[in-house]
A = this chain, B = another copy of it.
Amino acid sequence: MPATVTASVETAERPEKRERRKEARPGELLAAALDLFVEKGFAATRAEEVAQRAGVSKGTLFLYFPSKEELFKAVVREHIAGTIKDAFGELQTFPGTSSELVHFMMHQWWERYGNTKASGISKLMMSEAGNFPELAEFYQQEVIIPGHQLIQKVIERGMASGEFRKVDVEYAVFSVLAPIMFLIMWKHSMSGCCPSGEKIEPLRYLSVQADIVAHGLRNITS
């Protein structure tokens, strides 16, 4: 049980008075903020509560992040923007067919992001974008546009090899995006509150959607 830790994210083990660990703080705050933003949304999350959950005082939060909006942006950068870049790398070297790549991408997306607390940010964004245009703009730049490019590349790959039909690429992107976003929205809104409501099994859902989309994109002759 070594004393120095690279910021164990869990709520800070009893911060006996002034603690002084500059390195760890931003990570702890970011983790607390992610939890609360996902749980309550942006507007309803109080800055003080974020600080409390990170085991620091209100003032300390603003020592690291100049405003609640900047805190949110940092959460997005930390937990989402990176995810997309990672994905870019992997997809470049995928060995299989483009249909398989569609399957792979959708499942990966789910496992690495959708099935994660971080995906709550996407739900939050859809819910509150209208009230926080600046954040929406930021999210567009950091997440949506790169995400679109990623999917677009995949579809273009399939079209280039002749495996996929010639489709309106720019909008065909949504045939991959929509099912995933729908699943994320569902998970963070409908699921977990409606006893009688339909439960979606993510893996089954993804298989069916990927199958239909891949079919839908594929060339009939192939």
Could you say which residues of chain B place their CB within 8 Å of the CB of A209? 171, 174-175, 178
Could you say which residues of chain B place their CB within 8 Å of the CB of A172? 208, 212
A44, A137, A178: most-surrounded residue (chain B CB, <10 A): A178
Instruction: Check if B40 sits within 8 Å of A165, measured CB to CB.
Output: no
Interface string of A168-203 (1 = CB under 8 A from B): 100110110111011101001110111111101000
A185 in contact with B126 given A136-B194, A144-B197 (CB within 8 Å): yes
Kindly state whether residue A157 has any CB partner on chain B within 8 Å: no
Give A212 to B172 CA distance when docked, in angstroms. 8
Q: Tell me the dominant secondary structure on chain A's binding face.
A: helix
Q: Which of B178, B198, B220 contacts A179 (CB 8 A)?
A: B178
Q: Quickly give the copy total for this chain.
A: 4
A182 in contact with B177 given A127-B126, A212-B167, A220-B220 (CB within 8 Å): yes
Could you say which residues of chain B place their CB within 8 Å of the CB of A35? none
Could you say which residues of chain B place their CB within 8 Å of the CB of A165? 215
Kindly state whether residue A129 has any CB partner on chain B within 8 Å: yes
Instruction: Check if B204 sits within 8 Å of A171, measured CB to CB.
Output: yes
With both chains docked as a complex, state the minimum distance between the C-beta of A194 and any C-beta of chain B, in angstroms. Answer: 5
With both chains docked as a complex, state the minimum distance between the C-beta of A105 and any C-beta of chain B, in angstroms. Answer: 16
Kindly state whether residue A217 has any CB partner on chain B within 8 Å: yes
Kindly state whether residue A66 has any CB partner on chain B within 8 Å: no
The 8 closest A-B pairs by CB, nearest first: A216-B216, A212-B216, A127-B127, A178-B182, A133-B193, A171-B208, A129-B189, A140-B197
Residues of A at the B interface (CB closer than 8 Å) are: 39-41, 43-44, 125-131, 133, 136-137, 140-141, 144-145, 148, 165, 167-168, 171-172, 174-175, 177-179, 181-183, 185, 188-190, 192-198, 200, 204-205, 207-209, 211-218, 220
